[in-house]
Amino acid sequence: MEPDIRYARNGDVAIAYQVVGSGDRDLVLVPDFMSNLVYHWESTYWREFYERLARSFRLILFDKRGTGLSDRGSHFPVLETRMEDMRAVLDAVGSDHAVVFGSYEGNLMAALYAATYPERTDALVLFQFPPQGGVESHTLTQEELARLRLSWGTQQFSDEMLATICPTLLRSEADRLWFANSLRVGATPEVAYELNKAYSESDLREVLAAIRVPTLVLARGQQGAEDTRTAAGLIPYARLVDIAGSDWWGIFLSAEIVDEVEAFVATLGAGHELDSVLATILFTDLVGSTAKAAELGDRRWRELLAEHHARTRRELLRYRGVELDTAGDGFFARFDGPARAIRCACAIRDSVAELGLELRAGVHTGECEVIDDKVTGIAVSIGARVAAQAGRGEVLVSQTVKDLVAGSGLSFVDHGSAELKGVPGEWRLYAVLDA
């Protein structure tokens, strides 16, 4: 009998989860585009896969926000929100560190979590991982997305999917019916459309170098294998293993996957040294502050600057930013999610505009060195240089940031390429239009 369903809370949203087994080490399985904790247990494939993992680990399962048994919330969840949902589940079960195991679209969240929270990640396992959602072999065109929205859950559409991603299941009438039902109970047509669209717009290639935990990458078959190998090459010291079989989908079809995970985890030591982390950096700066100070006089300027600081800190608290430094009329802050950093920057800009002040800001996500709870390194320098490129009232972001907030509702306009002082190469920047 499958374990009881429980719910973890992330704000007002309930995330369904289960805990199976009692191993010494926790393993959290990040699902594909969608899942359903009740229906998956009715499948012999999934039940055997879960039970095998549960023999070696305390297995933690959950349905991502908007799928299966979990709440959707008021907005489509971006990667960082779903990452926070998983952290809420781990907190609810008392897990302060775990092996994070992702597959397919779930790899995006698994990889981002491992890079952002290395102190809570014992190891990372990725199965079938194209790090760029827009690769031709795995992404639906706009026409195909539109058809998905209209045809999701029909037997014909389900069969067409299986013919492409998992022909093995197409051979059995029972498997065909099961797969179609798994789509229906996993996600609504609208959620399926949004998940696939966001996946198409996501690109994690620039952040994979920030993964510093032991990583196992598993590839099977020819379809997408090259993309998965590309991902393995971008992650420092990742171990790549080819799995027998030809189906791209169906992680449960290869019994040796669990063997590989068990063997890999058995090689892990007690822990790994935390010397870097993936972080989102925000720099803000007032435009024309010297002229404004001369106009107002020292006393009034000090009062106005104090109010600017108070409003900035209020928004940092609201969006969970961490103030790292203040230099004159500018702020340097760190976030664990780029969408929150962008919204915080826009909120600060709008708030201080009420004081008659004009602000510019820059946002970048990258690997940062951790020294005495402070972050430093090239990513910090890039964040500062991005801010320096912004004009009055502008919030600029790097290409990396834009690629990480797909599906957030944030809109951008291309600001062109720029050479950032002291940083090699040209950098594509984008101005935030709507936060």
For residue 134, give every residue at least 6 positions away whose Cβ sits within 8 Å of its Cβ, in sequence order, or none. 200, 201, 203
For the residues 385-414, what does the mean pLDDT come to? 95
Burial class (CB in 10 A: 0-12, 13-18, 19+), 394: buried
Burial class (CB in 10 A: 0-12, 13-18, 19+), 359: buried
Going by C-alpha positions, the residue among 48, 168, 166, 31 that lies closest to residue 103 is 31
Say if residues 433 and 405 touch (Cβ distance below 8 Å). no
Per-residue model confidence as pLDDT tens digits over 139-155: 678 899 999 999 999 99
Confidence (pLDDT) at 136: 44
Say if residues 338 and 280 touch (Cβ distance below 8 Å). yes
Q: What is the rounded CA–CA span in Å between residue 388 and residue 83?
A: 30
Which ranges of 213-361 does DSSP label H, i.e. alpha helix?
Answer: 225-234, 256-266, 289-296, 298-318, 338-353
Residue 80's H or E segment, with its range, is helix 79-92
Residue 193's H or E segment, with its range, is helix 189-201
Say if residues 137 and 112 touch (Cβ distance below 8 Å). no
Indicate the residue type of 203: D
Per-residue model confidence as pLDDT tens digits over 234-268: 999 999 999 999 999 999 999 999 999 999 999 99
Q: What percent of the chain has pLDDT over 90?
A: 85
Confidence (pLDDT) at 411: 94
Which pTM value belongs to this model? 0.92
Confidence (pLDDT) at 235: 97
Say if residues 136 and 126 touch (Cβ distance below 8 Å). no
Per-residue model confidence as pLDDT tens digits over 310-337: 999 999 999 999 999 997 799 999 999 9
Say if residues 40 and 182 touch (Cβ distance below 8 Å). yes
For the residues 86-115, what does the mean pLDDT come to? 97
Q: What is the rounded CA–CA span in Å between residue 335 and residue 170?
A: 45
Q: What is the rounded CA–CA span in Å between residue 79 and residue 66?
A: 13
Orientation of helix 106-116 relative to helix 79-92, angle to 10°: 70
Q: 174 is written with which tokens? A: 């029972």
pLDDT at 68 over 90: yes
Burial class (CB in 10 A: 0-12, 13-18, 19+), 290: exposed
Confidence (pLDDT) at 57: 98
pLDDT at 425 over 70: yes
State the pLDDT confidence band at 130, using cuts at 50, 70 and 90.
confident
Domains in the chain with CATH codes: 6-266 (3.40.50.1820), 276-434 (3.30.70.1230)
For the residues 358-371, what does the mean pLDDT come to? 94
Confidence (pLDDT) at 112: 96
pLDDT at 14 over 90: yes
- Distances in Å between the alpha carbon of 347 and those of 80, 95, 324, 394? 19, 34, 18, 12
Say if residues 112 and 278 touch (Cβ distance below 8 Å). yes
Confidence (pLDDT) at 370: 83
Indicate the residue type of 122: D
Going by C-alpha positions, the residue among 110, 164, 108 that lies closest to residue 137 is 164
pLDDT at 2 over 80: no
- CA triple 408-414-420, angle to 5 deg: 105
Confidence (pLDDT) at 271: 65
Say if residues 360 and 266 touch (Cβ distance below 8 Å). no
Per-residue model confidence as pLDDT tens digits over 106-123: 999 999 999 999 999 999
